């Protein structure tokens, strides 16, 4: 499983699973299939509009509409659909910036402009070759824009990580973690997974604020909000594991 490490604005290194060449190809095939469907629909509309009577006006309108959609499709989708075209959404992959932030419009624009090199001028060969050989699975547009594609699904399922064992010698930082329950911990994992997928720090901040209020605690001087949530999860796991061990004894 190939990953790319992104250094976030919170000075945290997070590993994302990189979208494979196969994922990219399938996403592109879905988008191409979508345009084939659009073309068929436009032809049907032209025929239904009695194009023999309207002549070049309808034909020009059909061709112009299709060309406009084809040229600006990827740029518009990535800007307005959070880094995803329809094909990328189907394949559950998305564009991300390697600095951990949401890609800017400028980055999306660079990726779009270099489609000429990656796809049009080289019949897709440039994109295929660069994605296949680059460490971060980037086409030329990604390299220039400092972006790549990642999988949007969590690498680890919730039931696999919610109650991970901890070192028995571990000393909980927050004794107040005893006030939490299993669902609270699952929600924290969901928030952390969401942050890892999107880079959205707001969800972490909001979750941390609610937990601090609920437990009447504050983050330690050496912690940010993400580390605070991760520490609480670790504390809770340790307390539950210790309690179960004492009960069994």
pLDDT at 147: 94
CA 225 – CA 71 distance, rounded (Å) = 42
HSE-up of 128 (CA within 13 Å, CB side)? 10
pLDDT at 83: 92
Is the confidence at residue 11, as pLDDT, over 50? Answer: no
Mean pLDDT of the chain: 83
pLDDT at 6: 65
- Indicate the helix (H) or strand (E) that contains 90: helix 86-91
CA 225 – CA 209 distance, rounded (Å) = 8
Q: What is the DSSP string of 153-179?
A: S-SS-HHHHTT----TT---S-GGGGG
Region 1-30: what's the mean pLDDT?
75
Region 101-114: what's the mean pLDDT?
92
Cβ distance 46 to 55 under 8 Å? Answer: no
Cβ distance 172 to 238 under 8 Å? Answer: yes
Is the confidence at residue 155, as pLDDT, over 80? Answer: no
CA 242 – CA 169 distance, rounded (Å) = 10
Whole-structure pTM value: 0.62
Region 35-49: what's the mean pLDDT?
82
Region 93-102: what's the mean pLDDT?
83
Region 167-187: what's the mean pLDDT?
85
CA 60 – CA 41 distance, rounded (Å) = 15
92: left (phi over 0), alpha (psi -120 to 50) or beta: left
Is the confidence at residue 165, as pLDDT, over 60? Answer: no
pLDDT at 10: 43
Confidence of residue 202 (pLDDT cuts 50, 70, 90): confident
Region 23-50: what's the mean pLDDT?
87
Percent of the chain exceeding pLDDT 90 equals: 46
Is the confidence at residue 151, as pLDDT, over 70? Answer: yes
User: What residues have CB less than 8 Å from 4, skipping those under 6 apart?
Assistant: 15, 16, 18, 98, 136, 137, 148, 150
């Amino acid at each position: 499983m190939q990953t790319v490490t992104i250094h976030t604005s919170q000075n945290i290194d997070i590993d994302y699973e990189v979208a494979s060449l196969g994922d990219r190809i399938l996403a592109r095939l879905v988008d191409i299939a979508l345009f084939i469907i659009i073309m068929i629909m436009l032809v049907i509309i032209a025929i239904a509009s009695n194009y023999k009577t309207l002549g070049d006006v309808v034909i020009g309108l059909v061709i112009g509409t299709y060309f406009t959609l084809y040229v600006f499709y990827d740029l518009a989708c990535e800007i307005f659909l959070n880094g995803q075209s329809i094909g990328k959404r189907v394949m559950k992959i998305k564009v991300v910036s390697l600095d951990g932030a949401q890609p800017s419009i400028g980055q999306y624009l660079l990726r779009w402009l270099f489609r000429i090199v990656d796809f049009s001028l080289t019949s897709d060969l440039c994109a295929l070759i660069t994605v296949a050989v680059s460490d971060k699975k980037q086409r030329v547009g990604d390299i220039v824009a400092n972006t790549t594609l990642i999988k949007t699904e969590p690498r680890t399922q919730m039931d696999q990580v919610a109650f991970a064992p901890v070192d028995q010698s571990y000393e909980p930082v927050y004794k107040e973690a005893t006030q939490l329950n299993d669902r609270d911990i699952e929600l924290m994992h969901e928030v952390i997974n969401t942050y890892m997928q999107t880079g959205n720090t707001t969800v972490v901040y909001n979750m941390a604020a609610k937990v601090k209020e609920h437990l009447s605690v504050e983050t330690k001087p050496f912690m940010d909000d993400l580390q605070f949530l991760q520490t609480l999860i670790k504390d809770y796991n340790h307390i539950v594991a210790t309690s179960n061990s004492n009960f069994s004894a």
